[in-house]
Amino acid sequence: MLPATLQTRVVIVGGGPSGLLLGQLLHLAGIDAIVLEKKSREYVLGRIRAGVLERGMVQLLEQAGVDKRLQREGFTHDGTIIAFNNEYFRVPFSKYIDKPVTVYGQTEVTRDLYEARESVGAPTYSNAEEVSINNADTDTPSVTFVQGDTRYTINCDFVAGCDGFHGVSRKTIPDDQRKEFEKVYPFGWLGVLSDTPPVHEELIYANSPRGFALCSMRNASLSRYYIQCESNDDANRWSDEDFWRELKNRLPQEFAEQLVTGPSIEKSIAPLRSFVCEPMRWGRLFLCGDAAHIVPPTGAKGLNTAASDVQYLYQAFKSYYHNNDSAGIDNYSATALARVWKVTRFSWWMTTLLHRFPGQSDFDLRVQQAELDFLKQSDEAQAAMAINYVGLPY
């Protein structure tokens, strides 16, 4: 195997949207960075993920110069629908906060970032195997990886771990130096992507006696629907007809009658968990996104919280290299975690509000009903939801 040595300022481990966004922002700031991705570009772009973007993330994409297609094809939403007991109400974001969310698929965000990185010739290594982060607790960290017949060593100043829950970055931090917090929910989401128009112009979150349901979209002719299922369920046992029947049974009749059904393009089950790792920095290694935290998708916060990490880390690196100021680097973990825990709380709240849990007592169901009634009737409760859903400030 041939050896090769590279030099850069920042190695970004993980070529998903958070790693690519950080790389693009650093490039525009004149800070050299190399992105490593374990999978192929085609594999990364084949992953189906959420597509509700907070205003803060949209602004970051604007700053990174990758917002042209988003502005042209994205859908602005200034409210959402909450359904229960065969009725529904709308939470109008614009009434409480002068910011919308934008519906634009995560796959499309990733595609735009790949194209931007390619257009400037910034180095990205796909199919990077055997990645190892070395000496991160010293002033001379390095990253090694194998691509084809070559074993690379990258000498760098810093490493940004954007490689997800199963990546190498978090595991590089010694066990006695990190603490992990986790809550595993006793159900999953069965999701279907279909070439059908959305049932409604805004997202519908539904609590029903049969379990949770969500009606979402990718564009005017591509819809994404979810239903709560057993955590150990198998997507292959669900026919399209079974899925549509169950979804209709969980929606208010008005929406069930309007639902356009069709063959599924993709069908999968996602488990639900809350997870936070502390700290998010060890020496010159920094964790971003799913490498440090995971939230259930109920509040659409996964990618958006990764974006806030990227914002903090990008500003920290920029201050360090442009102004010789290390305060942002030193405070990164505490700053990021303060927002992460608020987002974790909101995602837990929405999940608890809208799902049916195994073993719920009559008391539990009455309290859940009271919470939904309170949200329906209270401007203050809707304002709190709107502020969190649209996105807390960075």
Catalytic positions: 77, 205, 297, 301, 389
Cα distance between residue 146 and residue 153, in whole Å: 9
Question: In terms of DSSP bridges, do strands 129-134 and 142-147 run parallel, antiparallel, or are they unpaired?
Answer: antiparallel
- Cite the beta strand spans of 50-157 per DSSP E: 52-53, 75-77, 79-84, 87-92, 101-103, 124-125, 129-134, 142-147, 150-155
Give me the sheet containing 33-36, strands edge to edge.
124-125, 33-36, 10-13, 158-161, 285-287, 281-282
Backbone angles phi, psi at 240, to 5 degrees: -60, -40
Q: What is the Cα–Cα distance from 71 to 108, expressed in whole angstroms?
A: 12
Annotate 162-173 with b (16+ C-beta within 10 A) or e (fewer): bbbeebbbbebb
**CA–CA separation, 308 vs 57, rounded Å?**
7
Q: How far apart are the first and last CA of the chain?
A: 45
DSSP string, 24-46: HHHHHTT--EEEE-SS-HHHHHT
Give the largest CA-CA distance in the chain. Answer: 67
What is the DSSP annotation of 351-382?
HHHHPPPTT--HHHHHHHHHHHHHHHH-HHHH
Q: Is 64 helix (H, G, I), strand (E, B) or coil?
A: coil
Q: Which residues pair with 3 in a beta bridge?
A: 151
Listed residue (47, 51, 110) closest to 75, CA to CA: 51
